[in-house]
Structure 1
């Protein structure tokens, strides 16, 4: 068997195995995501003691494992609001208002895209956020851009919670707390060059991957992945040199390459095409002329090998066992 044939055979078997236990895999992924998300929330703003207990984290994670992804996002916003309400009523109400606006204007309209917000936030913690625009450009539409930008904004907003908490402990009245909080948000979030550069670069990477992937050329998705990874590294190098952005260059390069590898694996597992048999089809009707490129999918028949084993017993009776 040729190496490419064995790889395609492995892909087919992996897909079949996933389809057999799809619900279990999805539930496990949700369970792990919710646990990781709760740990991060509790380590940053764990002001509600009940929500930081281990058994409560387990119960919430079990509930999240069976809920649609948009409700996980809503639950995360609710938990964050409860934590901040436990610390300060004014800060909690402000966060609740922001979460309500986010739900009304985005999550309610694009429930599936709320997954991208969660993945963007978690990917930042793992330094794999470079993979988010590449994967989103391969499989999503332009509405995903808003989710990526919201995720980036959320990551950098979390960093200013600690300074706001320190201000709240010293504030004499609500007006001073409001003004000081807005000042912190303005200086550490809105005017943060690292956040603005990250938003701009990841947006450009998404657009490049989205456009290149849809070109009528062979191996367009893989070309889009490589170009997107290269543009990501180039963009951050330029930002470091000219915009005084604080990014670890070596870590950025390594994680960008790893992101390209991850995106390539996901693309290969989702769709395998035989570009050697691609062809261009032209036809027309009364109103339109059609110019279509056809690339057949690679279909591999998983062999069902039968092995016949013959065992000879001491009583001179033969037993035959057939294993598939």
Structure 2
């Protein structure tokens, strides 16, 4: 355990020392992964799949604010869908406009939630996001996670049904519009996941804010169980045909990852908890103080030994 705590201290010191450069690197990597994911799922416009364009866009995202990554990703999605069918691009652009209005109103700082939700979605462990944002975010993070889910299902929908798009004539285009809207917004599995993620995120947030011992661990456990229960109930009520085995396995993996997050972000020593009471002219104060688990990293000392050589 001591070696893990020392490793944690080394990581924190390293990040503080090189924070500026690390920020540029993670923004570049996140932008590159997001754009590459979009290109792999859609990829209908050859110009946008060019590695030079991808690299330049990622470098631009690295030096600009994190929210710009969301904007660039939206441009890539709309560009690919424009090559597929103008109806798809138009509807997607309207959806993105509504999303951006709500996103910048309620949770403009949750860039990572919007971008990482599709990444974990296609890794089959999207359940990481409601648990993580419940621990690190706020109830408004529900907006960002929900947007990430909508983008994920949108990419899957257009990738799966690409052959059915593209029509000539006003009537055919109108029918295609209605089919696209029904396919995107009428997805019962997406609605169930959004509701389950919202419930889990809020529960995790409420519990981790309490003064209970091991509140973060309890929040992770309750959040994971609530995720599974909500998805099971939603599946039975709406026949979403979600893989329940995959949901349970993915949630367990996500909870394990959150324990790692808890170690780095909220590692407390409950054996040394102190409860103090004091007062002023108007109030009594009851305070519970729980110290963080810390360990001093050993410093390397180098001794220089100079041996004087006698010359005869």
Under TM normalisation by the shorter chain, which class is it?
0.7 to 0.9
2: distance between equivalents of 1:261 and 1:311? 53
RCO comparison, higher one (Cα < 8 Å, 6+):
2
Match runs of 1:167-206 below 5 Å: 167-173=164-170, 175-186=171-182, 188-206=183-201
Secondary structure at the aligned position of 1:221 is classed as helix
Residue 137 of structure 1 is aligned with which of 134, 139, 160? 134
| C-alpha RMSD of the superposition | 2.7
The answer on whether the counterparts of 1:134 and 1:225 sit within 8 Å (CA) in structure 2 is yes
Instruction: Could you tell me which runs of 5 or more consecutive residues in structure 1 were left unpaired when the two chains were aligned.
Output: 318-324
Match runs of 1:140-289 below 5 Å: 140-162=137-159, 165-173=162-170, 175-186=171-182, 188-240=183-235, 243-289=238-284
1: distance between equivalents of 2:165 and 2:246? 35
Deviations, residues 126-169 of structure 1 (Å, cap 9, x unaligned): 11211111110111111100111111122222233257654442
For 1:44, the equivalent position in structure 2 comes to 41
The CA deviation at 1:48 is 2.4
- Structure 1 residues 311 and 277 mapped into 2: Cα distance closer, same or farther (>3 Å)? same
1: distance between equivalents of 2:102 and 2:202? 23
Deviations, residues 33-66 of structure 1 (Å, cap 9, x unaligned): 2222222222333232211111111111121222
TM-score (norm 1): 0.84
2: distance between equivalents of 1:49 and 1:242? 42
Q: Report how many residues are paired.
A: 311
234-243 or 262-271, larger mean C-alpha shift: 234-243
For 1:20, the equivalent position in structure 2 comes to 17
1:291 counterpart = 2:289: no
The CA deviation at 1:119 is 1.1
For 2:74, the equivalent position in structure 1 comes to 77
The answer on whether the counterparts of 2:78 and 2:93 sit within 8 Å (CA) in structure 1 is yes
The answer on whether the counterparts of 2:5 and 2:295 sit within 8 Å (CA) in structure 1 is yes
Deviations, residues 81-107 of structure 1 (Å, cap 9, x unaligned): 222334444433333333233223323
- Structure 1 residues 163 and 129 mapped into 2: Cα distance closer, same or farther (>3 Å)? closer
Residue 98 of structure 1 is aligned with which of 95, 100, 104? 95
The answer on whether the counterparts of 1:205 and 1:231 sit within 8 Å (CA) in structure 2 is yes
266-275 or 164-173, larger mean C-alpha shift: 164-173
The answer on whether the counterparts of 2:102 and 2:143 sit within 8 Å (CA) in structure 1 is no
For 1:320, the equivalent position in structure 2 comes to none
1:31 counterpart = 2:28: yes
1: distance between equivalents of 2:95 and 2:310? 81
TM-score (norm 2): 0.87
For 1:124, the equivalent position in structure 2 comes to 121
Secondary structure at the aligned position of 1:276 is classed as helix
Residue 295 of structure 2 is aligned with which of 293, 297, 300? 300
257-266 or 85-94, larger mean C-alpha shift: 85-94
- Structure 1 residues 272 and 171 mapped into 2: Cα distance closer, same or farther (>3 Å)? same
The answer on whether the counterparts of 1:167 and 1:181 sit within 8 Å (CA) in structure 2 is no
2: distance between equivalents of 1:45 and 1:75? 15
- Structure 1 residues 308 and 254 mapped into 2: Cα distance closer, same or farther (>3 Å)? farther
